Amino acid sequence: MDKNANIKRLKEIDHELVLYQNITALLGWDQETNMPERGVEGRSEQLSLVQGVLHDKITSSEIGDLLEGLGASEQQPSGDSSFSDPERGLIREYFREYNREKKLPKKLVQEIAVVTSKAQPAWAAARKSQDYSIFQPHLEKIVELTRETTKCLGYKDHPYDPLIDQYEPGMTTAEVARVFNGVKKDIVALLTKISEKDQVDDSFLYKQYDSKLQDDFGRKILTDMGFDFQRGILSESAHPFTTGVGKDDIRITTRYTEPSMSSSLFSTIHEGGHALYEMGAASPELKGTSLGTGISLAVHESQSRFWENIVARSDDFWINYYAALQELFPAQLSGVTRDTFVRGINKVEPSMIRVNADEVTYSLHIILRFELETALVNGELEVKELPEAWNEKMHDMLGIVPGTSAEGVLQDVHWSAGLIGYFPTYALGNLFSAQFFETLKQEIPEYREYISSGNLIHLQKWLNEKIYRKGGIYTAAEVLQQVTGKPLDPSHFSRYLEEKYTRIYGL
């Protein structure tokens, strides 16, 4: 076949594989939200079957022949330069995925699907009963399979490299460690200054807030952000998440079980940021293709963090929304001024639970997990030692120790899903968001007026033009360079935190 025929055929295969991926996402969404407890066994078989089919198709000789015919190689992963940017992006992604999956035995891929499907309910049961021993054998198997995966994929410097590369292509363990060490130093210095000041009051956030009214308020904000409820839904789950199960079917979840009203609200806004990216990436040119999604998890997380923290935790945001919130909850917010409320939702205090962590200490939670994961993968730490290691790092980094395993090692769902290598993207997302924000401020000088008047759609349009609609055409590094004019620079995030919390705490 000639090159035009090759690219046409690759697009046809891509469309089919995306449908299989959508099926997998739907099965996962259902397991998290609706599936009965005894459905685990059947669901694990279903996921194993679909993952096996995907593996067979992505590693087929036809894919290899097509990529070769398109000029893809290690030196030129995007293929022949005569193709359009979207076509070169598609070739690049398939070249990367083909070479990765080709190294993984089908049996290993299917075993991971079965093991993780059974591990999720075991994790939930362990977390509920605060008994790590229930989950430990499942996690031991997951870590064993993860180590086997790294051996199959190969690595030059660290066995964690191919794991983080799966979620943040091009990123290495050494680079993450370098960036995190610098950020950690800045955060600890800021925390020290904050600890010397009087603590803000947030007691009003821990009263009884009707979940139905919270849901109504969250949906109003999502709508103002640009969330299209004809293309997306909001549901509840034990752990908030976003998933796409179709080109016009983006699903997000939140939870209303936390002691603080703000954790539920900001979880909704956070997942809404992810959803906006997915909706924007499904542009007519990219809809239904593997490029119709976010380019990397760090860039994806930058969008959820932008909406949750930079926008929704700002004083400007509540100029428009606080009166409406007070009207919904007059008793709970009686006598609470807008300034007091804003200070309350930005309270900085070391806490046990990552998803409830404040904006300053959040990255320390991620650095802790990164250090534990790298130790698990390279064999320096065994699964049975994980609870003690977790508690020691919590004490060293945050000065607190979990009272139960549910507050500590069992709090996240990610390991039960086999997502080792995923966590660093959360903190990297903070860095991306602050750097994108610097450019937005320069290009939309009236951004504060838009936020304070509730005209959030202006921000969504800018993000859609600069980031969302590009989907997976370009790499994360290329998108960051295109938008901000420079590579990743952690100083933007450190400066953003310093300026914001100097105002809040009068540093």
The larger pLDDT score, comparing residue 239 to residue 153, is at 153
331 burial (CB, 10 Å; 0-12 / 13-18 / 19+) is exposed
Domain membership flag for residue 129: yes
- Integer-rounded Cα Rg, in Å, for the chain is 23
> Mean pLDDT across the stretch 70-88?
94
Token pair in block for residue 505? 């705490």
Domain boundary residue, one of 120, 154, 188: 154
128 and 22 in a common domain? yes
Residue 161 inside a domain? The answer is: no
Least-confidence region, from 41-45, 77-81, 376-380, 445-449: 41-45
Q: Choose the final residue of a domain: 97, 125, 154.
A: 154
Q: What is the pLDDT of residue 1?
A: 64
Classify residue 200 by its DSSP letter: P
Same domain, 201 and 97: no
| 150 in the same domain as 10 | yes
Q: What was the pLDDT predicted at 37?
A: 83
pLDDT at position 255 is 87
- CATH code of the domain in which 301 resides: 1.10.1370.30
Report whether 48 contacts 114 (CB < 8 A). Answer: yes
Give yes or no for residue 387 having a pLDDT over 70: yes
Which amino acid appears at position 194 of this protein? I
Average pLDDT score, the chain: 94
pLDDT over 90 at 425, yes or no:
yes
Q: What is the mean pLDDT of residues 359-386?
A: 96
Kindly report, residue by residue over 328-356, the tens digit of the pLDDT: 999 999 999 999 999 999 999 999 989 88
| Same structural domain, 7 and 47 | yes
Number of other CB atoms surrounding residue 17 within 10 Å: 19
Tell me what the mean pLDDT of segment 228-235 comes to.
95
**What does the pLDDT average to over 140-161?**
96
Q: What is the pLDDT of residue 231?
A: 96
Q: How far apart are CA 98 and CA 77, in angstroms?
A: 11
- Residue closest to 452 by CA, chosen among 312, 258, 246: 312
Would 40 be classed as within a structural domain?
Answer: yes
Is residue 168 one of the residues assigned to a domain?
no
Which pLDDT does position 265 carry in this prediction?
94
Of 155, 214, 206, 142, which Cα lies nearest the Cα of 383? 142
pLDDT tens by residue, 196-221 = 999 999 999 999 999 999 999 999 99
Same domain, 284 and 405: yes
Q: What is the pLDDT of residue 234?
A: 95
Q: Within a domain: residue 217? A: yes
How wide is the angle at C-alpha 469 spanned by C-alphas 165 and 24, nearest 5°? 55
Model confidence at 466, in pLDDT bands (50, 70, 90)? very high
Taking only the tens place, the pLDDT of each residue in 19-66 is 999 999 999 889 888 889 889 889 889 988 998 899 899 999 999 999
Domain extent for 436:
173-505
Name the domain count of the chain.
2
Question: Is the pLDDT reported for residue 503 higher than 80?
Answer: yes
Q: Is residue 177 domain-shared with residue 149, that is, in the same domain?
A: no
Query: Minimal CA–CA distance to 457: which of 225, 200, 166, 132?
Result: 225
- Residue 205 maps to a domain: yes
| Percent residues over pLDDT 70 in the chain | 100
Residue carrying structure tokens 């606080």: 322
- Please check whether residues 342 and 278 belong to one and the same domain: yes
Is 118 in the same domain as 216? no
Same domain as 138, residue 248: no
Q: Which of 87, 101, 271, 438 is catalytic?
A: 271
The yes-or-no answer on residue 271 being catalytic is yes
Query: Is 208 found in the same domain as 145?
Result: no
Average pLDDT over residues 441-467: 97
Indicate whether 398 belongs to any domain. yes
Q: What is the pLDDT of residues 247-277, one digit of tens each?
A: 899 999 998 876 788 989 999 999 999 999 9
Statement to judge: residues 222 and 322 lie in one domain: yes
Residue 163 lies in a domain: no
Residue 238 has pLDDT above 80, yes or no: no
Same structural domain for residues 78 and 211? no
- Last-in-domain residue among 125, 154, 183: 154
pLDDT of residue 44: 85
